[in-house]
Amino acid sequence: MGKKLIIAEKPSVAQDIARAMGGFTREGDYFESEDYVLSSAVGHLLELAVPEEYEVKRGKWSFAHLPVIPPRFTLNPIDKTAERLRLLTRLIKRKDVDGLVNACDAGREGELIFNYIVEHSKTNKPIERLWLQSMTATAIRDGFAGLRSAQEVEGLRQAAMSRAESDWLIGINGTRAMTAFNSKTGGFHLTTVGRVQTPTLAIVVRREEEIRRFKSRDYWEIEGRFGVAAGEYAGRWFDEKFRKPEGDEHARAERVWDEAKARAIQAKCAGKTGTVEEEAKPSTQLSPLLYDLTSLQREANGRFGFSARVTLQIAQALYEKHKVLTYPRTDARALPEDYLPTVNDVLARLPHTYAPHANEIVKQGWVRPNKRIFNNAKISDHFAIIPTGTEPKSLSEAEAKIYDMVTRRFLAVFFPAAEYRVTTRITRVEGEAFKTEGKVLVNPGWLAVYGKEAQLEEDGKGGETAAASLVPVKPGESARVEDMLLKALQTKPPARYSEATLLTAMEGAGKTIDDEELRAAMAGRGLGTPATRAQIIENLILENYMLREGRELIPTAKGFQLMIALRGLKIDELSSPELTGEWEYKLSQIERGELSRDAFMREIADMTQHIVHQAKSYESDTIPGDFATLDEKCPRCGGVVKENYKKFQCQSCDFSLWKIVAGRQFETHEIDTLLRERQVGPLTGFRNKMGRPFNAVIKLNDKLEPEFDFGQPREDENAEPVDFSQQTPLGPCPKCSARVFEQPMSYICEKSVGPEKSCDFRSGKIILQQPIEPEQMQKLLEAGRTDLLKGFVSSRTKRKFSAFLVRQPDGKVGFEFEPRAAKPKAGAKTAKAAAADAAPEAEAEAPVKKAAAKKTTAAAKKPATKATARKKSA
């Protein structure tokens, strides 16, 4: 009787199988027992390639060789793992091996890795499938007791191969076509695209465009302070007849868009007395669903700032190395219906930290059939991520955080709903209504797993909203208007994507869906899979299509340019996330045997032909788009200057300006200013070759060529004195009391330049990406501080913060932070953290290397900085 060869995806899994099954001896990179030979791949060992006669070397890509749709694909060994592939091929061909067991990861990629090895070895030996969703010894033994036939997972194999080939066809042809398109005017401009990567970029670019187009609107809110016998409470005015109008997402019942109307309500109610109505209703909140990979990545990013890739790596280690979590690359948030005994077993073996909650679940009998938790219809290849019950040992801090998240979510899902008492109070004054809401946690339910029960006992309100301020009102009691405040506010643009919110958008193919159940229904039409989304985000950053700044993801000029091209070329398949989400859904149909692989691949071939045809059909200056005609005329010939895909181009002569310089795209109004005044700026957002941001003024020289000017007057001993006679001083120098004037890049003391230099005061016009307007510098010089400025970006954490600029006793400019209502014992830490966040350096004062200018002066010297608990030098 022959032996079966077991092939796992990774060496660590092969070791686990050897330990669980027993009887194996190690023979170098494989194990052997009486019944089995056991080895592993090391991830992907082979990659798709086209037959040599269809290949064209990089640098020689042209439309003449496109599209590349080979009649067949070949598999090329990956160089660094070629030795492992030779070993597996040798083991497959052993005469005493009469069957194979696919023990690669239970999913599309695991299926692909194994089948490529089999295809490469040209074997026809029978194949069985080991389907593991947990790496415990019991699960491994159970898996071998119930090996599946290859036919049972044939749909998964077809989908895996279709995914790989479609990504290759779109990626290779799209990248070569767009590179050829962007290289038509000379050079080699690599422009990568992908079937999932590029529509994901489209989501981020679309949001940034919304932010740039956004025009804030003023509105007012009216807050009343009301007095009753038991004390005071606040209430906010609202329109009782409000109906949300079509197309105005900012309309709210409490917002007044006319200041005169708001002031009239304020005056009408001031000093009057009102009546009070109150309604209290019970309310419940169910626990969140169990984690799938995307929801775990989303929450870990929001709570700890972990990138999606880091969360996946941690979860994979907790599954594979530590054996404390089940398989993480899952899109399911439910468990199998026969899993109740396993859940009880896991509860019994959880670490003692969680024992009180686990014991309560068992004692109350809360593990029972429940379609929200146990539902076969909501499981595809894998079930939700839960703990295995194995005791965790020597976890890193990050691993412990993810393990705790999963374990508490697992416990919470069995607990009853949290119960609240929600009180709504309406105070009516002179016919105007003011709403006050209070929410009291009555029974923590599942919140007890997260410590809310302790909070409830501690402060009587469970840490929930404004219950303490909701003082009781006697039946029939009137409320006096103690104060009537008018708040002037502005609408805000939508927030930039973080990895957490981008993962949600990818899951819904660009649609922002907050409801968990709806999101689950849409997930099959999302972009990518839970296992691939993290890498897609990383690839976009690697290709410089977007930047990660703090927790924000910001598209680069290169990313914008690609989207402009794809829209102009009408390549909707790559610029429409919704359309591409349908392709992912079709792959899942192939998995289930509802769509043929041939039909899907024909659609992909058609899509490939369309991409290449469209890119062939246009030149960079003829590509359609929403391009502007500038107000200013050409400085060379007086002709009309128009924007096109790559340039601002005169229509009558050869004068042109590139739209993107040093990684920054110019706006039309900036170019208008440059043509009119021969300079513009200082502008933020330029990046040097190291990716570091810098600011600069752009000037047109005598040849009408743009140059960087960092605005630093020459300081050599022969320098001419600077003529300030035509300028108005902004105020007295805080160091020497001479006059301070505005220069292109900074505000300087008149005695800090020229041969008679005697002072060194200089403050940047842009500090940590926050423009400092002349009127703010005037306030700083005359009154000692600016208004609260809200656009500073920490050079250390990349997060935005608000601060006042203040004049310090030594004459330097420093930060002062807005007072915050801090929790007990947290105040000092908050101030210290804010100071540390503010600025290890003042960006505008730091040396900046010249990126492209020929003529520019030396960069400013960076002043020394000194932080205090409340202030920090700018």
What are the structure tokens assigned to 47, written together? 């990659």
Q: Which residues of 6-32 are buried (b: 16+ CB within 10 A; e: fewer)?
A: bbbbbeebbbbbbebbeebeeeeebbb
CA–CA gap between residue 493 and residue 480 (Å, rounded): 37
The continuous run of DSSP H or E covering 312 comes out as: helix 308-320
Q: List the helix and strand counts (H, then E) for the chain.
A: 23, 36
| Cα 515-517-518 angle, rounded to 5 deg | 65
DSSP string, 653-692: SS-EEESEETTEEPPHHHHHHHHHHSEEEEEEEEE-TTS-
**Residue 869 corresponds to which amino acid?**
A
Q: Outline where 569-722 has alpha helix (H).
A: 572-575, 577-591, 597-616, 668-677
Candidates 353, 376, 355, 373; CA nearest to 291 is: 373
Pairing of strands 3-8, 97-103: parallel
Candidates 576, 598, 574; CA nearest to 586 is: 598
**Residue 496 corresponds to which amino acid?**
R
Q: Which residue has the tokens 């989501």?
A: 203
The CA-atom distances, in angstroms, between 793 and each of 596, 677, 780, 843 are 52, 29, 20, 10
CA–CA gap between residue 664 and residue 209 (Å, rounded): 15
The continuous run of DSSP H or E covering 439 comes out as: strand 432-443
Backbone angles phi, psi at 278, to 5 degrees: -140, 140
* 403 in catalytic set: no
Cβ–Cβ < 8 Å for 763, 777: yes
What are the structure tokens assigned to 320, written together? 């594979």
| Cα 532-537-543 angle, rounded to 5 deg | 120
Q: Give me the catalytic one of 116, 233, 319, 327.
A: 327
CA–CA gap between residue 702 and residue 710 (Å, rounded): 18
CA–CA gap between residue 801 and residue 817 (Å, rounded): 9
What are the structure tokens assigned to 695, written together? 């600011």
What are the structure tokens assigned to 633, written together? 């005329």
CA atoms within 13 A on the CB side of 55: 9
The CA-atom distances, in angstroms, between 167 and each of 161, 196, 383 are 10, 8, 26
Candidates 662, 627, 569; CA nearest to 193 is: 569
CA–CA gap between residue 670 and residue 52 (Å, rounded): 49
The CA-atom distances, in angstroms, between 727 and each of 55, 504, 762 are 65, 53, 17
DSSP string, 173-238: HHHHHHHHHHTTTSS-------TTHHHHHHHHHHHHHHHHH----EEEEEEEEEEETTEEEEEEEE
Candidates 299, 262, 714; CA nearest to 488 is: 262
Report CA dihedral (45, 51, 53, 54) to the nearest 10 degrees. Answer: -100
> Which 8-state DSSP code applies to residue 170?
H
User: Strand pairing partners for 421?
Assistant: 282, 440
The CA-atom distances, in angstroms, between 255 and each of 140, 576, 643 are 60, 35, 40
Residues with catalytic annotation? 327
